[in-house]
Amino acid sequence: MIAAQLLAYYFTELKDDQVKKIDKYLYSMRFSDETLLDITQQFRRELTKGLGRDTNATAALKMLPTFVRSIPDGSEKGDFIALDLGGSNFRILRVKVSHEKKQTVQMESQIYETPEDIIHGSGTRLFDHVAECLGDFMEKQKIKDKKLPVGFTFSFPCRQSKLDEGILVTWTKRFKANGVEGMDVVQLLNKAIKKRGDYDADIMAVVNDTVGTMMTCGFDDQRCEVGIIIGTGTNACYMEEMHNIDLVEGDEGRMCVNTEWGAFGDDGRLEDIRTEFDREIDRGSINPGQQLFEKMVSGMYLGELVRLILVKMARDGMIFEGRITPELLTKGRFETKHISAIEKSKEGLSKTREILCKLGLEPTTEDCIAVQHVCTVVSFRSANLVAATLAGILLRLKENKGVTRLRTTVGIDGSLYKMHPQYARRLHKAVRRLVPDIDVRFLLSESGSGKGAAMVTAVAYRLAEHSREIAETLSEFRLTIEQLLEVKKRMREEMQNGLSKTTQDSATVKMLPTFVKSTPDGTENGDFLALDLGGTNFRVLLVKIRSGKKRTVEMHNKIYAIPLEVMQGTGEELFDHIVQCISDFLDYMGMKNTRLPLGFTFSFPCRQTSLDAGILVTWTKGFKATDCEGENIVGLLREAIKRREEFDLDVVAIVNDTVGTMMTCAYEESTCEIGLIAGTGSNACYMEEMRNIEMIEGDVGQMCINMEWGAFGDNGCLDDIRTEYDRIVDDFSLNPGKQRYEKMCSGMYLGEIVRNILIDMTKRGFLFRGQISETLKTRGIFETKFLSQIESDRLALLQVRSILQHLGLDSTCDDSIIVKEVCGAVSRRAAELCGAGMAAVVDKIRENRRLDHLNIAVGVDGTLYKLHPHFSKIMHQTVKDLAPQCNVKFLLSEDGSGKGAALISAVGCRMRQELNNK
């Protein structure tokens, strides 16, 4: 017993001693975490360099775009063929993806040999051989009559400008078929298939084995966004944000980038960590100075590294008593598979002895321990270096996503990772140490790059199919110039119907006279009160207008709430509350004893009989006060002032917000004769010739017409451009069949149109993995402000995803792209329809004045116009296209409903004065 313990103690001491000696000898191959983190940072800088258009040419990492834009989302289905060419064996697979209860994959494959004379012959012979094997496989599968989608795993460096193209940069792995470098391998294969003429194939994707690995694992785990190969060679790919990839047009979404990381360090970046053994390996390789990182970490070189170290140690008398055999001096005799055998925990030492004996050596136990530790140092260094570069990719993903903690999956393949007993564990441990705030799952690729090629094809097939159907759905929102001209023409007809006495009753566009007969001329002067009632809040304003050389408008205001019980009580209670608020404001301003002129912005449908008389047609926006509809609103206000007996006011004008907007801008710009609201609602007004307004006596001068154009189309004249989504929104609105034009182009409804499209697309499996969330079912949840945010050019897709997540929609990157596209289609149509309406107005004014060319300004207000990133630009362009003889300037209104009401009162007072002076 004691003897056994002594022996074990001796052995442990011996082992520790040898390990210390080797560690000292190979200290330059052992890295601290500080060194590894420095390598990570250097690698990250190289990633950025490789992605930049101006820096890519000199970058060691080529960062090749693969045009794979999406990982599997679980909805793929179909029958696919995969070709896998990357070595002396060539594999063909048939991959069936089905959806019965859950997604399943069936695979049948066959391996074909690629003879040496074909590998080193002509490119034509090589691709004829591939086409012949594919024909044989299809014959055996009895699918020669079908045109199945094909994915091609071609594991050689290629440049791509689309998914179904691969221009071979250079042959590697002993392949030397001439006439292929610089050519598109898909074209060469298609040519060979066509030449045979006995079957057809649709090659949809060409990918390399790293991308294939990521896609294979992505099928099982949708978090997988990195693929790594650690085998004979090494490489990595990952999903990069499109806006970071300068080499490819477009900013939307993500694309898989093939890093070709084996070349990391080719620019001298790794010189300080390369050893004399690495330099010797490189000198003896077929590509000196290239793939330096790969030569430090991959299976092709690790065995040779160990052999060179053993030779030097023997020469230095550290092992084998200084003996060196011819076998030990023979390049390639110590293989990477030997390292895997030697490092096995139980039989490692006996395997070491066996391998060394085959090299003609007679090793002692000390020698075996030393050799085992050399293998450990070399393979450990490889795992650490791969961990450092992988950490660089993971940190980039974390930064791209803007998260504090990243959860992701890395798909991994390769003989070194799979066969070495300790490699995977060491790699995982090192990665977790270097990036502690990233949760990484490592997923072993089961069926390799062949299934991956089929998955890329399945995803491409799904995206192409979805893309086509989505484009078809959204094409209904893309109006042609002819359709817009037709909308303009119909708007003109409806305007005419509203102006004519005989058709006014049945007209949908009511063209209401406002009795505002002039825009400001700059001589307006005085203090005016303005009231603004249009919702649950009520504003009282004092507006001081000063004329002269330096015209100024000074405003003071106070906001008052209108309680629900007042909104829905009696008319008397409502107007008593309004007068109570005015009284409080006059006290606040110290102006109780002054009889001020007052303008009342009353944003409810009214039929005016004079500037200071407006009959309420109907309450909207939740108001239900009794005894008001059919009554003169100004009369109700005057009676309430009289009842209070505290102050007196001169009510000069009742106006709506559209007219107020025009007046506000006309005060600054004399050519402004049109007002437009493009916000929650939509409306327009303009200065019409009195001779055309048949409802009003008199032919001289002009009057502002409140068009109430939101009702355009209520007679069915827009039915040919309304979509099923417009009909759904209309059917479920508070006023079905009314305000149809407004429902197609105003802020209150755009979000709801988008929500209905998203529900339909989700049902059809294009979005959110076909899962309709409760949130998406909620009417009104998708507010128009979200359209403005989502369509912002400055907003990355990541932020789009966070908006959707805030709405309870768990979206992928692809979902975000589609949602953005839907929002764009809906808001573009809204802006174009609004532009078509405005084109009708400006052209009418031009024709009224019998001008060849009209210069005019439009005062605009409304959140949609102000806040949406593209609405105004698209609307301006539409007006320009549809009314080319009009030069239209758009001015943003500042407080049309307050300042505008005061200006209308000022103009009303001025005109009253002028009339009295006559």
pLDDT in tens, 481-507: 999 999 999 999 999 999 999 999 899
In the annotation, is 603 catalytic? yes
pLDDT (0 to 100) of residue 114: 84
Region 864-888 average pLDDT: 95
Highest mean pLDDT among 74-83, 602-611, 712-721: 712-721
Look at residue 2 and tell me whether its pLDDT is greater than 70.
no
For helices 813-848 and 481-499, angle between their N-to-C axes, nearest 10 degrees: 50
Catalytic residue status for 811: no
Q: Which of these is catalytic: 155, 298, 445, 603?
A: 603
Q: Average pLDDT, stretch 630-643?
A: 94
pLDDT band at 70 (very low <50, low <70, confident <90, very high): confident
* Residue tagged active-site, from 278, 612, 657, 726: 657
Judged by average pLDDT, the poorest of 60-64, 466-470, 472-476, 876-880 is 466-470
What are the phi and psi torsion angles at 406 (to 5°)?
-105, 140
pLDDT at 254 over 60: yes
The structure tokens listed for 196 are 């045979």
| Least trusted range by pLDDT, from 112-116, 327-331, 570-574, 616-620 | 616-620
pLDDT for the residue 720: 95
Mean pLDDT rounded to a whole number for the chain: 88
| Torsion sign over Cα 188, 189, 191, 195 | positive
* Cα–Cα dist 123/176, whole Å: 9
Q: Spot the catalytic one: 94, 125, 353, 539.
A: 539
Choice among 25-29, 376-380, 470-474, 769-773 with the minimum mean pLDDT: 769-773
- The conformation of residue 318, written as its DSSP 8-state character, comes to S
What percentage of the chain reaches a pLDDT higher than 70? 95
Residue 115 CB coordination number (10 Å): 11
Per-residue confidence at 8, pLDDT binned at 50, 70, 90?
A: very low
pLDDT at 409: 96
**What is the pLDDT at residue 681?**
85
- Here the tokens at position 715 are 């007679």
More confident site: 903 or 843? 843
Q: How many CA atoms lie within 13 Å of 71's alpha carbon, on the beta-carbon side?
A: 28
Distance CA 731, CA 45 (A): 56
Whole-number percent of the chain with pLDDT over 90: 52
pLDDT at position 879 over 80: yes
pLDDT of amino acid 226: 96
What's the mean pLDDT in 88-98?
Answer: 81
Sign of the four-CA dihedral 502, 507, 511, 513: positive
CA angle 389, 391, 397 (to 5 degrees): 115
Q: Tens of pLDDT along 137-152?
A: 999 999 888 888 888 8
Whether the pLDDT of residue 356 is over 90: the answer is yes
Q: How confident is the model at residue 14 (pLDDT cuts 50, 70, 90)?
A: low
How confident is the model over 566-581, as a mean pLDDT? 92
Where residue 804 falls among pLDDT bands split at 50, 70, 90? confident
Would you say 225 and 182 are in contact if contact means Cβ atoms under 8 Å apart?
A: no
Identify which of 619-623, 629-633, 796-800, 811-815 has the greatest average pLDDT.
629-633
Please provide the size of the chain in residues: 918
Q: Indicate the range of 460-464, 499-503, 704-708 predicted with least confidence.
A: 460-464
The whole-number pLDDT of residue 328 equals 92
Give the position of tokens 């339909």: 760
Residues 6+ apart with CB under 8 A from 16: none
pLDDT at 160: 85
Tokens 């052999």 locate to 307
Q: Examine the pLDDT at 9 and tell me if it is beyond 50.
A: no
Residue 1 pLDDT exceeds 50: no
Across 90-94, 293-297, 523-527, 898-902, which has the greatest mean pLDDT? 293-297
- Mean of the pLDDT values across residues 663-685? 91
Q: Which residues pair with 413 in a beta bridge?
A: 229
pLDDT of residue 4: 45
Instruction: Kindly report, residue by residue over 744-772, the tens digit of the pLDDT.
Output: 999 889 999 999 999 999 988 888 878 88
So what's the pLDDT on residue 822?
93
Question: What is the rounded average pLDDT of the residues 139-166?
Answer: 86
Q: Is the pLDDT of residue 547 over 90?
A: no
What's the rounded mean pLDDT across residues 245-257?
82
